[in-house]
Structure 1
Amino acid sequence: MTTDPPPEPTPGPGELGPPASSSPAADPAARTRGARAAFRRWRRTRPFWATVWTALGGFVIFFLPMAPLGKILQVGVGGIAGMAGGVVLMAMALLMLLLPSQRHTAGVIAVIAGVASFPLSNLGGLFVGMVLSVLGGSMAFAWLPEKPAKRRGGLLRRTRPDAGSSVPPVPPVPVGSGTV
């Protein structure tokens, strides 16, 4: 003999069943959509992709001198300069992300640090870090905030005075040499 719980009764015709959970907190798909929409709105208010490319370039430049390729890459003063350049690039990426109003300054510094990494850090992270840093810095410099949505019907239209009013147009005044 088993002790299974009895099955729950199903509602008959005309009876109300258990309340369906229609709140977004109960639906994981709705929460995910809401979170993605909120992230998309936040991302569009700052130079997000410029930050990603600059940080990735700084990461490559920072960690490449520490790679176990000691026979190919030379670690020394170039390694220290590369690490410093990588830190500067990652700091500029963070500045772009957190203070979008300072994107021009951070973009210019990122481009300069990326180009300076070429002679200072193993050919700019074997060209990859340099290219990513220059790409991200130039994208940050060129980024513009999203324009506000246009209002419909809120524009005032100016009409010409002679189009529908009784005011006569003012004739143009000739500009001469001052003699009559």
Structure 2
Amino acid sequence: MTTDPPPEPNREPTPGRLHRARTAFRRWRRTRPFWAAVWTGLGGFVIFFLPMAPLGKILQVGLGGIAGMAGGVLLMAMALLILLLPGQRHTAGVIAVIAGVASFPLSNLGGLFVGMVLSVLGGSMAFAWLPEKPARRRRPRRTTPSAETPVSLGSGSA
């Protein structure tokens, strides 16, 4: 004789933990210049890691290797600043654009143009980003007397 487990009661499907986390992340992401930070950080990553070589090679390269590393670190720091403090996005965006353009003569043509373009794109997106305005609450319309309803102008007799 086999025994079947008792049937489970009917429950409405609730959103899973992954769905709730994704929704919460989406809501958080929309309150800040997320894609500007991603592009700026990616540009800084390219500029930082392109000249990476053993320390002896970097010291032989000189200013280009050290400036590339410093510019990449600065750009990744600006990406974090853009992401975590959206109120400082204008300052961080301007610094990111300046560091991205400065990487062109200082480090391997700005990460072979890729890092420079990404950091300038991200910095300009951060500068131009505006927070989403909250939805306007609709007020109920006030009804005005129409032409069909008589309006009394006083209590006088004609």
Q: TM-score range by the shorter chain?
A: 0.7 to 0.9
| TM-score of the two chains, using structure 2 as the length reference | 0.79
Unaligned runs of 5+ in 2: 143-150, 154-158
Structure 1 CA distance for aligned equivalents of residues 3 and 109 of structure 2: 72
Pair 112,21 (structure 1): closer, same or farther in 2 beyond 3 Å = same
User: Which residue in the other structure is 2:103 paired with?
Assistant: 117
Instruction: Give, in angstroms, the shift of residue 75 of structure 1.
Output: 3.2
Structure 1 CA distance for aligned equivalents of residues 47 and 13 of structure 2: 47
Identity of aligned residues (%): 78
- The structure with higher relative contact order (CA 8 Å, sep 6+) is 2
Report the RMSD for the aligned CA atoms in angstroms. 2.7
* Matched letter for residue 97 of structure 1: L
More deviation in 146-155 or 45-54?
A: 146-155
Instruction: Give, in angstroms, the shift of residue 23 of structure 1.
Output: 6.2
User: Which residue in the other structure is 2:46 paired with?
Assistant: 60
Structure 1 CA distance for aligned equivalents of residues 68 and 88 of structure 2: 24
Pair 51,6 (structure 1): closer, same or farther in 2 beyond 3 Å = same
Q: How many residues align?
A: 141
Per-residue deviation, residues 73-103 of structure 1 (Å, max 9, x unmatched):
x832200000000000000000000100000
1:48-87 correspondence runs (5 A): 48-66=34-52, 75-87=61-73
CA contact (8 A) 1:65 1:75 kept: no
Per-residue deviation, residues 104-148 of structure 1 (Å, max 9, x unmatched):
000000000000000100000000000000000000000000110
Q: Could you say which structure has the higher helix fraction? A: 2
Moved over 4 A (4+): none
Instruction: Give, in angstroms, the shift of residue 30 of structure 1.
Output: 3.0
CA contact (8 A) 1:54 1:89 kept: yes
Match of 1:135, SS state, is helix
1:160-175 correspondence runs (5 A): none
Per-residue deviation, residues 38-60 of structure 1 (Å, max 9, x unmatched):
11110000000000000000000
Unaligned runs of 5+ in 1: 11-16, 157-163, 167-180
Structure 1 CA distance for aligned equivalents of residues 94 and 106 of structure 2: 18
* Matched letter for residue 8 of structure 1: D
* Matched letter for residue 108 of structure 2: N
